[in-house]
Amino acid sequence: MSEENKYPLKKVVIICAKGSIEDVYATLVMANGAVMEGIETKVFFTFFGLDAITKKKMLKLHTATVGNPAMTMPGGIPFPTLLGAIPGVEAGVSAMMKKQMEALDIPPVDEFLEMITAGGGELYACKLAVDMFKLKKEDLFDDVKDIITVGEFYELVGGQQTQIIFT
């Protein structure tokens, strides 16, 4: 964490609503960066974003190969959506992405979450989504501070100089 927050932004709240590798890591990178800059950081996981903090799923995230317009093949050729439907393609693409991240020394999800909370960041799970997916507190990453409603979440993050980011 930096000695003094050099940004006018005092608090950032990141909402993680998707469970693909690219969406979860966007959340984790942004949250960790904010913590490292001394910005108060709270992360709210909802719907499929809960996969990032669910013990059984957090290390088994996949990248979306069907309907992902950003996917390209070598040479910049668009990745045909039909290919993504072939069994094993999504697993292969996900494994390739994880290998590239490992080569860049990007930590796995659980280590990233530990870095965020060790730096003072807070993790919250959405009560509606937890109930919908029939999860319990013990199913979640140990450092999840609480399971809260959207209303409770807004109470936590209220105030001036708060930036809400939805991933």
- State the Cα–Cα distance between residues 102 and 98, nearest whole angstrom: 6
The rounded percent of the chain whose pLDDT value lies above 70 is: 89
pLDDT of residue 135: 97
Q: What tokens were used for 18?
A: 């998707």
pLDDT top residue among 87 and 44? 44
- Specify the higher pLDDT residue, 78 or 16: 16
Instruction: Read off the amino acid at residue 28.
Output: L
Could you tell me the end-to-end alpha-carbon distance of the chain, in angstroms, rounded to an integer?
Answer: 23
Which pLDDT score, from 0 to 100, does residue 97 have? 81
Mapping DSSP onto H, E and C, the string for 83-101 reads: HHCCCCHHHHHHHHHHHHH
Q: Which residue has the higher pLDDT, 99 or 7?
A: 99
All domains in the chain, ordered by first residue:
11-64+78-166 (3.40.1260.10)
Q: Which two tokens stand for residue 148?
A: 């809260």
Q: What is the pLDDT of residues 3-53, one digit of tens each?
A: 555 666 788 899 999 999 889 999 999 999 999 999 999 999 999 999 999
Q: What is the pLDDT of residue 1?
A: 45
pTM summary value: 0.84
Residue 19 vs residue 160, higher pLDDT? 19
The structure tokens listed for 44 are 């709210």
Specify the pLDDT at position 4.
57
Task: Tell me the pLDDT of the chain averaged across its residues.
Answer: 87
Q: Are 49 and 17 in contact (CB under 8 A)?
A: yes
pLDDT digits (tens, 9 = 90+) for 137-153: 999 999 999 999 999 98
Whether the predicted pLDDT of 119 surpasses 60: yes
DSSP code, position 108 = P
**Which has the closest alpha carbon to 39: 3, 80, 10?**
10
Whether 133 and 50 have beta carbons less than 8 Å apart is answered as: yes
What are the structure tokens assigned to 57, written together?
Answer: 């799923």
